[in-house]
Amino acid sequence: MKVLVAGGAGFIGSHLCARLVREGHTVVCLDNLLTGAERNIAPLLATEPTNSSARRFTFVRRDVTEPLDADGLARDLGGFAPEAIFQLASPASPVGYWNYPFETIRVNTIGTTNLLELANQCGARLLTASTSESYGDPLVHPQREDYYGNVNPIGVRACYDESKRLGETITMEYVRRKGVDARIVRIFNTYGPNSQLNDGRMIPNFITRALSHQPLSIHGAGDQTRSICYVDDLVDGLMRALFTPETTGEVFNLGNPEEHSIKEWALRIIALCGSPSELVYEPKREDDPERRRPDITKARTRLGWEPRITPDEGLTRTIAWFRDEMEREGLCLPARAG
């Protein structure tokens, strides 16, 4: 199948591209590299033949907020017309969307609209990647897909939260009014290789600081809860959500329902890193959710999906990748324990 992945050079997108290529699909990755990185897809590019007609993976540096015309895309890419589209193009970490608030708003609204128009022109199926941030600081726990959320529309996270919510609205209007074969997934906390070292999210922050033997910052008392899902499991859920029949217009939570406090995650990472790092407590962040845990009953029953990789297994893999990456970047790491 011919698959277009918008945001394919990002953290999740790069893993998705690799999975699609392994399964025999022909993949075009569109990314403007605002928060993505070409190094994430370098292994895919390195294995491609020089003959463009034989390539299974193609990278195009492009901003999806610019118009996407099916004929123009086919002309530029040697007749490529997508049969399936993943919309993963958006900054997703606080560092990303706080640095690029207007770009975040545009890509989740205009960019999503452009990709839905492309799907409509090509008759392609489409998946819009939304977020657990759509639930805001939830008053219902765990969060189900039919919960409308508790979001601050003028808060510091609103450029991300509200633009993702509007992207969901736009997607559903294309389903209802134009018959586009689209669905929505709400992604909960995900971690793994290919994260940015300065990502700003909980797991990358804790790992980089633990590996550097620096204190781990806890915002508030640390009793806020999070559920973390390894990226390979998440990608499997994305694939199932797009390719499972009769999922048009559906919304699925994708995440790991195993819930622990932020303090517990920090202590677990310190132990897995063999680090002497300590915890330091700072003021709580504005609009930081108190509890975050997905109800994945719908994904289990409709998609046959649930996470398979345990947190300790996933964190061990991720720590090894971060250690190698920090060494590659020339960052000075303390001597390894033992």
Sorted by sequence, the CB contacts under 8 Å of residue 174 that are 6+ apart come out as 116, 119, 120, 180, 182
Summarize the chain as % helix, strand, coil (round to 5): 45, 15, 40
Q: How many helices (H) and strands (E) does the chain have?
A: 12, 13
Nearest to 274 by CA among 216, 318, 327, 338: 338
Which residue among 97, 100, 160, 230 is the active-site one?
Answer: 160
Residue with structure tokens 């109800």? Answer: 295
CA of 64: how far to CAs of 61, 94, 114, 167, in Å?
10, 21, 7, 14
Which two three-digit tokens encode residue 145? 């897909």
Distance of CA 47 to the CA centre of its chain: 25
Provide the pairing of β-strand 84-87 with 190-191: unpaired
Which of helix, strand or coil describes residue 213? coil
Backbone phi and psi for residue 305, each to the nearest 5 degrees, phi listed first = -115, 140
Phi, psi of 87 (to 5 degrees): -100, 95
Round to whole Å and give the CA distance between 125 and 120: 9
Element (H, E) at 128: strand 125-131
Q: What is the largest CA-CA distance in the chain?
A: 63
Our answer to whether residue 160 is catalytic in this structure is: yes
Q: What is the DSSP letter of 139?
A: S
Please give the positions annotated as active site.
Answer: 160
